[in-house]
């Protein structure tokens, strides 16, 4: 089994360098970087971090940069040295960024020129000992290029154990401050094994890294999985549809991971068919529900490409479910079946397993969950029910083992004593021709309907140039759902409000 001989990510990296030294590890801005070359670059940065920045095992390096060779060099320098990578979501607002930097207590910040202005304002209130600049030079800032140029080979580094911390990934909820989920080397090894087997990844693959590194799929899975296999990562600094199509064509990309919104954007290219994308063999998506219309469009554009829906949380040490290609069109509402090595339960409010088809809260065993949140030792315990982590997600599983998410616990709408699950109504509305996306919330019932307690409100975003009316939404839902689940209120907007992590801010829809 992949990963069985390894004890940490440094072992994984060394194996790739020793076995495939001349294989392209990364493609960035049209240039290939072999595993051997990347090993030398990361050793030079390691020496600089130790000798110029006084970093020691366990110290944190925050990284605010797009996908690129500088990020990969710093990532593997940290993994080889026992430093902890803190990916920074550069889409966060100033207050959220301040919270992340303060929480991480990073010794070093690797800062790209494109993000320099906002961080310069923050560093006075959340100082770090050293800033390494990528693409710019300034007083009191170490130059990444200069450090690489002056660096020398470095020693093997400290002993690393499976329980040593590797990554702190800050979650972004719809409310509250970001919290740092801790991932250990052993957790990442388990995730890599699960991901490779679940998606059938291969040494020969060229994987597209279009997801930013501040998403778990990138930092937990794609980057280390590629090294585990000795495969190649094609780095995309931003999710530009045309640039992605050009990169897939130029580098013969075989695997494309992304969020549903990225694939919707990709399919908007009017001349998509002029690109040779025949190298693709797998498209995998997660992060939110994939509209059936988008799945149909992907099937039409890429009839020979496998489509995988997958699911996992920042708090789980691996992806937990995959919906295979054979079920992509027939079961678009499902996240698939639980993966080998992952233990799940769906429990009611009394802690009992719900029967097939019943709705309960999705739980994972503690062995599949992070050890805790950085600087908040008691926070994870509050989400545990014995040995089981309560995700806060409502789910149902049928007799064949397919799991369907019904929304968050707080997204349950109670209409006249009946439970309405927001995700179920959203999925129904998403099947309407011309609807781009929808969000459903509960609002207080007033007047003659006050006895119902709450009403179902749907906020709908139509596709450009498509005419969708309130009556269309209500009729579609009435024909497919119970009457009390049909939205009593329908509102149309140009877009849904989202936070920097891409999650819908439902409090702004009520």
Measured CA to CA, the distance from residue 494 to residue 465 in angstroms comes to 12
Q: Which residues pair with 351 in a beta bridge?
A: none
Q: Which residues pair with 441 in a beta bridge?
A: 457
Confidence at residue 501, expressed as pLDDT on a 0 to 100 scale: 62
CA dihedral for 193, 197, 199, 204, sign (positive or negative): positive
Q: Quick check: 73 and 45 in contact, CB under 8 A?
A: yes
What are the structure tokens assigned to 235, written together? 């780095």
Confidence at residue 358, expressed as pLDDT on a 0 to 100 scale: 94
Least-confidence region, from 19-23, 198-202, 326-330? 326-330
Which is more confident, 6 or 501? 6
pLDDT surpasses 60 at 352? yes
**pLDDT band at residue 175, thresholds of 50, 70 and 90?**
very low
Rounded mean pLDDT, 412-440 = 85
Q: pLDDT exceeding 70 applies to what percent of the chain?
A: 97
Superfamily of domain 9-342 in CATH is ANL, N-terminal domain (3.40.50.12780)
**pLDDT band at residue 407, thresholds of 50, 70 and 90?**
confident
Measured CA to CA, the distance from residue 344 to residue 334 in angstroms comes to 15
User: Which string of DSSP letters, residue by residue, matches 209-222?
Assistant: E-S-TTSHIIIIII
CA dihedral for 504, 374, 369, 358, sign (positive or negative): negative
pLDDT surpasses 80 at 332? yes
Enter the CATH code of domain 416-508.
3.30.300.30
The residue ranges of every structural domain in the chain are 9-342, 343-408, 416-508
At which residue do the structure tokens 């969020």 appear? 259
Torsions phi, psi for 284 (to 5 deg): -125, 140
Confidence at residue 409, expressed as pLDDT on a 0 to 100 scale: 73
Confidence at residue 174, expressed as pLDDT on a 0 to 100 scale: 43
Helix, strand, coil abundance in the chain, percent, nearest 5: 35, 25, 40
Confidence at residue 1, expressed as pLDDT on a 0 to 100 scale: 37
Measured CA to CA, the distance from residue 147 to residue 135 in angstroms comes to 13
pLDDT surpasses 50 at 3? no
Measured CA to CA, the distance from residue 120 to residue 138 in angstroms comes to 11
Q: Quick check: 249 and 275 in contact, CB under 8 A?
A: yes
- Architecture per CATH, 343-408: Roll (2.30)
Confidence at residue 510, expressed as pLDDT on a 0 to 100 scale: 84
Rounded mean pLDDT, 17-44 = 97
Measured CA to CA, the distance from residue 87 to residue 84 in angstroms comes to 10
Rounded mean pLDDT, 22-34 = 97
Q: What is the pLDDT of residues 116-162, one digit of tens each?
A: 988 988 888 888 999 999 999 998 899 999 999 987 777 777 889 99
Measured CA to CA, the distance from residue 463 to residue 256 in angstroms comes to 24
Confidence at residue 450, expressed as pLDDT on a 0 to 100 scale: 75
Rounded mean pLDDT, 376-386 = 91
The whole-chain average pLDDT of the chain stands at 91
User: Which string of DSSP letters, residue by residue, matches 419-483?
Assistant: EEEHHHHHHHHHTSTTEEEEEEEEEE--GGGGGGBEEEEEEEEEPTT----HHHHHHHHHHHS-G
Q: CA separation (Å) from 424 to 3, 125, 280, 406?
A: 38, 44, 32, 6
Rounded mean pLDDT, 459-479 = 92
Q: Which residues pair with 393 in a beta bridge?
A: 408
At which residue do the structure tokens 């390691």 appear? 46
Q: What is the pLDDT of residues 57-90, one digit of tens each?
A: 999 999 999 999 999 999 999 999 999 999 998 8
Which is more confident, 371 or 419? 371
Q: Give me the helices (H) in 105-158, please.
A: 116-123, 144-150
Q: CA separation (Å) from 275 to 235, 245, 498?
A: 19, 7, 32
Q: Which residues contact 38 (CB under 8 A, 6 or more apart)?
A: 17, 25, 26, 69, 72, 73, 76
3-state secondary structure of 110: strand
Residue 95 is inside which H or E element, if any?
A: helix 94-104
Confidence at residue 172, expressed as pLDDT on a 0 to 100 scale: 59
Q: Quick check: 411 and 506 in contact, CB under 8 A?
A: yes
Report the predicted TM-score, pTM, of the whole model to 2 decimal places.
Answer: 0.84
3-state secondary structure of 281: coil
Nearest to 246 by CA among 214, 211, 283, 271: 271
Q: Quick check: 172 and 503 in contact, CB under 8 A?
A: yes
Q: CA separation (Å) from 53 to 49, 83, 219?
A: 5, 12, 24
Beta strands in 224-328 (DSSP E): 232-235, 255-258, 282-285, 306-311, 321-323
3-state helix/strand/coil string of 405-422: EEEEHHHEEEECCEEEEH
pLDDT surpasses 90 at 55? yes
Measured CA to CA, the distance from residue 416 to residue 401 in angstroms comes to 31
Torsions phi, psi for 184 (to 5 deg): -95, 165
What are the structure tokens assigned to 295, written together? 């799945």
Measured CA to CA, the distance from residue 217 to residue 362 in angstroms comes to 20
**pLDDT band at residue 176, thresholds of 50, 70 and 90?**
low
Q: Which residues contact 334 (CB under 8 A, 6 or more apart)?
A: 309, 323, 327, 402, 403, 404
């Amino acid at each position: 089994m992949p990963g069985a001989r390894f004890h940490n990510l440094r072992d994984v990296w060394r194996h790739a360098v020793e076995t495939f030294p001349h294989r392209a590890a990364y493609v960035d801005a049209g240039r290939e970087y072999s595993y051997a070359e990347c090993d030398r670059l990361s050793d030079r940065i390691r020496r600089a971090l130790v000798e110029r920045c006084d970093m020691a095992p366990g110290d944190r390096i925050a990284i605010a940069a797009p996908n690129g060779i500088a990020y990969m060099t710093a990532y593997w320098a940290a993994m080889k040295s026992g430093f902890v990578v803190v990916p920074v979501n550069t889409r966060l607002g100033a207050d959220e960024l301040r919270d992340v930097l303060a929480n991480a207590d990073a010794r070093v910040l690797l800062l790209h020129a494109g993000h320099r202005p906002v961080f310069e304002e923050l560093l006075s209130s959340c100082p770090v000992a050293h800033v390494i600049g990528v693409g710019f030079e300034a007083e009191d800032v170490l130059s990444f290029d200069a450090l690489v140029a002056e660096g020398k080979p470095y020693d093997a580094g400290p002993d690393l154990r499976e329980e040593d911390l590797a990554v702190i990934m800050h979650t972004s909820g719809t409310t509250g401050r970001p919290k740092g989920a801790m991932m250990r080397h052993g957790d990442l090894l388990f995730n890599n094994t699960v991901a490779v087997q679940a998606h059938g990844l291969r040494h020969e693959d060229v994987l597209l890294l279009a997801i930013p590194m501040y998403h778990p799929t990138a930092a937990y899975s794609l980057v280390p999985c590629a090294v585990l296999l000795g495969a190649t990562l094609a780095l995309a600094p931003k999710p530009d549809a045309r640039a992605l199509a050009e990169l897939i064509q130029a580098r013969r990309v075989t695997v494309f991971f992304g969020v549903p919104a990225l694939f919707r954007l990709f399919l908007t290219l009017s001349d998509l068919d002029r690109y040779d994308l025949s190298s693709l063999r797998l498209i995998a998506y997660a992060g939110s529900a994939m509209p059936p219309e988008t799945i149909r469009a992907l099937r039409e554009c890429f009839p020979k490409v496998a489509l995988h829906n997958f699911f996992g949380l920042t708090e789980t040490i691996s992806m937990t479910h995959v919906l295979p290609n054979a079920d992509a069109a027939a079961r678009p509402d499902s996240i698939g079946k639980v993966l080998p090595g992952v233990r799940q339960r769906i429990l009611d409010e009394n802690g009992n397993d719900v029967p097939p088809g019943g709705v309960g809260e999705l739980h994972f065993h503690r062995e599949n969950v992070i050890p805790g949140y950085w600087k908040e030792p008691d926070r994870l315990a509050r989400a545990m029910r014995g040995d089981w982590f309560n995700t806060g997600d409502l789910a149902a599983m049928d007799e064949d083992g397919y799991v369907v998410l019904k929304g968050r616990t707080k997204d349950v709408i109670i209409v006249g004593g009946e439970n309405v699950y927001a995700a179920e109504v959203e999925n129904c509305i998403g099947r309407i021709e011309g609807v781009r996306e929808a969000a459903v919330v509960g609002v207080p019932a007033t007047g003659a309907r006050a006895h119902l307690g709450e009403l179902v409100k749907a906020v709908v975003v139509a596709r450009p140039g498509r005419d969708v009316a309130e009556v269309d939404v209500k009729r579609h839902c009435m024909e497919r759902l119970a009457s009390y689940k049909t939205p009593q209120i329908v509102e149309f907007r140009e877009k849904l409000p989202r936070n920097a992590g891409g999650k819908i801010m439902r409090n702004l829809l009520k």
